[in-house]
Structure formats: C-alpha cells, structure tokens
C-alpha cells in the first residue's frame, strides 16, 4: 500500500486527515495508532474505497483506489467497527449468505464456510443465533466474513475495542495466524498501545490528522534514547510542577522533562536511569518538592506518544470523548 499526500477535509474546516504518506510492504502487519478522532477510521475508509479523498493519491496492491476501486474491493477484506451482523441468523447462515454473494455454491461454499468457522474457532457455535453471541464472538465472525473471498490484504478497524482481555487475545491470535501462515497483509487501526506493540511489524502514530511518528515499535521506543523516571508529587499543581521541572531539567543526562497530566506527575527522560533516581530525589527535595512516588521504566509507545504530542494517549482519548459530548 502506498499513499502520497492523502487528505480528507470535511466542511466547514475539519481536516480529518491532513496530507499523510504511507508505504506498507506486502506480508506485514501495519499498525495505525491514535486516539478517537485522530483520523484513523477516515484513513481506512479512503484506502478501502468507501470515502473519496479531498486530495492526494493511494494505491492498494498496485491499484489506484479512485480509478480502479472495483478491482481494489475484490482484493481486500474489510472489518469495520460497525459489524454488519443479522442477529436473527446463525453464524453459519451469515457466512453462507456472504459466500453466495461472492459466487460460491455447492461443495465449494460448504467447504469454505467450514474452513472459515475453523479459522476463527466458531465451529461449535456456528448454528446458534448471532444474537446469543458475546462481543468477542461477533468480532470473530465479522473477521470470518472479511475472509470469505480469500483476500490478499485485510483491513481491521479497531477490531478489539470494547472486548474483554480474553476475547482481545483471541483476536490477536487469529490476526497473527492469518499473517504468519497465510501471508495476508494486515492494516490494523487501534487505540490500544499493547495491541500495536504486540502485533505490528511497522507502526505509524497519527494525531490530529497528521502522522507524527513511524517505524517498528522497537525502533520507536529506542528513539527515546533514555530511561523514563516518573515522579508523583502529592502537593501537585501548576506551581509545584513548574518548580520540579526547573529543578531537574539541567541535571546531567536529562534528555527531556514533561508534566503531561496536570495532576502532579513529572516524567523525566534520562540516561542511565537506575543511577539517576537518588540524584533526582535529592534535587527535588532541595527545590522544596515532596516526592510521593518514583518509578523507573524502559520507554513505551505511550512515552513516544507523549514526547511527540505533549500528552498521553489516554489523555487524548478523554479529550476526544469530551468533544464528542
């Protein structure tokens, strides 16, 4: 998949996707990470021919999404957030109906439905009504419908949102199998840091319609170039955070300092963090800042998000939720 300057604006002045470039190799799991409202779903809808770009271009499997949209649709499988499932049908009936729409019949149809039910571990529940399925079972069935025509590329739009940890892990397992054993290229949008870290070979982080970081998860975390010390201050507040930030910013080995949440938290990116903990505490005490809790960790994707945007992904999610109300 290749995109150049892909842009989508909505009136009056919403820049949902703002000139992004993508280059995704065959056989990869590509993760597209961002908060709600960041442009993930708009991007996937343009790449799957469901939404026309305002400007820019995109090719999927070498085909232009505008000029060759019908051929693109024949080669891709799509599972969007809104699963189109008839709750009165059984899982088997749904897959048989969808298979007939793709021209399968007779023995080929029955064999393909049986194969798909086995792929997503739904054989035992196949003859129950979909309305009796759990959320995880519905997402697995939706995944099966996207695979009916044996696509070369699979688009999954937040496939585990709202699922419990066990159901989420099951979806992850199926995605890995499809990629590793069947060679399917997967474009996965997600708001979950762990999902992006565990599944994606390559990753892009999108924020406010722009790609702000890209690379493998390990490359992104390594780009921080430092350990992460997080300090919780019981007397938190703007003045306390400012004093704490000023106290440690000039210390040896400090790469960056952030106060992201406005609730008495200081995040320090510093080399050789294990040796730096005691000096950090001493420096803060000398500045009159009380330390309630201090932790040391290796960088995570959330640290990458924080460094690029100035806020945590969870904070961005909360802000998006407030705007939606």
Per-residue pLDDT tens digits for 171-198: 999 999 999 999 999 999 999 999 999 9
Q: How many of the other CB atoms lie within 10 Å of CB of 63?
A: 19
48: CB partners within 8 A, 6+ apart: 60, 65, 72, 73, 76, 78, 155
Q: Which of 133-142, 179-188, 234-243 has the lowest mean pLDDT?
A: 234-243
Q: 């406005």: which residue's tokens?
A: 262
- Give the span between the Cα atoms of 239 and 287, in whole angstroms: 12
275: CB partners within 8 A, 6+ apart: none
The number of residues in the chain equals: 325
Cross-strand pairs, 20: 6
Give residue-wise pLDDT tens across range 146-164.
Answer: 999 999 999 999 998 888 8
Dihedral over alpha carbons 49, 52, 56, 60 (to 10 degrees): 0
- Give the span between the Cα atoms of 206 and 15, in whole angstroms: 13
CA distances from 98 to 86, 101, 232 (A): 12, 5, 54
Q: Is the C-alpha dihedral spanning 307, 162, 194, 43 positive or negative?
A: negative
Question: For the chain, how are helix, strand and coil distributed in percent, rounded to 5?
Answer: 40, 25, 35
Q: Is the C-alpha dihedral spanning 80, 82, 118, 113 positive or negative?
A: negative
Domains and CATH numbers, the chain: 2-220 (3.40.50.300), 225-298 (3.30.70.100)
Say if residues 208 and 38 touch (Cβ distance below 8 Å). Answer: yes
What is the pLDDT confidence band of residue 320, given thresholds at 50, 70 and 90?
low
Closest CA to 294 of 282, 307, 310, 304: 282
Structure token pair of residue 252: 């040896």
- Give the span between the Cα atoms of 200 and 196, in whole angstroms: 5
* Residue 323 clears pLDDT 60, i.e. is over it: no
What is the pLDDT confidence band of residue 324, given thresholds at 50, 70 and 90?
very low
Give residue-wise pLDDT tens across range 39-75.
Answer: 999 999 999 999 999 999 999 999 999 999 999 999 9
Output the pTM of the full model.
Answer: 0.84
Q: At what angle do helices 165-182 and 135-146 cross, to 10 degrees?
A: 20
Say if residues 154 and 185 touch (Cβ distance below 8 Å). Answer: yes
**What is the longest distance spanned by two Cα atoms in the chain?**
80
* Residue 325 clears pLDDT 50, i.e. is over it: no
Say if residues 139 and 159 touch (Cβ distance below 8 Å). Answer: yes
Say if residues 227 and 298 touch (Cβ distance below 8 Å). Answer: yes
Say if residues 168 and 121 touch (Cβ distance below 8 Å). Answer: no
């Amino acid at each position: 998949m290749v995109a150049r300057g892909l842009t989508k604006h909505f009136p009056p002045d919403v820049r949902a996707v703002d000139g992004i470039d993508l280059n995704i190799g065959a056989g990869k799991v590509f993760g597209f990470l961002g908060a709600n409202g960041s442009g993930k779903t708009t991007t996937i809808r343009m790449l799957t021919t469901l939404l026309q770009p305002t400007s820019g271009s995109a090719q999927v499997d070498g085909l232009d999404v505008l000029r060759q949209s019908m051929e693109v649709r024949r080669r891709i499988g799509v599972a969007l957030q809104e699963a189109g499932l008839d709750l009165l049908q059984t899982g088997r009936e749904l897959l048989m109906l969808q298979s007939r729409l793709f021209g399968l019949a007779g023995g080929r149809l029955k064999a393909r439905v049986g194969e798909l039910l086995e792929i997503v571990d739904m054989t035992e529940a196949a003859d129950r009504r979909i309305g009796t399925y759990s959320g995880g079972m519905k997402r697995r069935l939706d995944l099966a419908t996207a695979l009916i025509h044996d696509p070369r590329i699979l688009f999954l739009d937040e496939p585990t949102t709202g699922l419990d940890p066990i159901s989420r892990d099951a979806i992850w397992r199926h995605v890995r199998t499809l990629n590793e054993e069947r060679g399917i290229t997967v474009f996965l949008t997600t708001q979950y840091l762990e999902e992006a870290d565990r599944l994606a070979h390559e990753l892009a982080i999108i924020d406010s319609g722009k790609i702000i970081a890209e690379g493998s998860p390990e490359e992104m975390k390594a780009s921080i170039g430092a350990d992460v010390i997080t300090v919780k201050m019981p007397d938190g507040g703007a003045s306390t955070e400012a004093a704490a930030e000023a106290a440690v910013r000039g210390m040896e080995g400090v790469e960056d300092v952030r106060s992201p949440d406005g609730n008495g938290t200081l995040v320090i990116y510093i080399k050789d963090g294990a040796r730096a903990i005691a000096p950090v505490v001493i420096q803060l005490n000398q500045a009159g800042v009380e330390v309630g809790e201090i932790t040391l960790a290796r960088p995570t994707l959330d640290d990458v998000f924080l460094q690029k945007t100035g806020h945590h992904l969870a904070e961005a999610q909360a802000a998006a939720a407030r705007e939606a109300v």
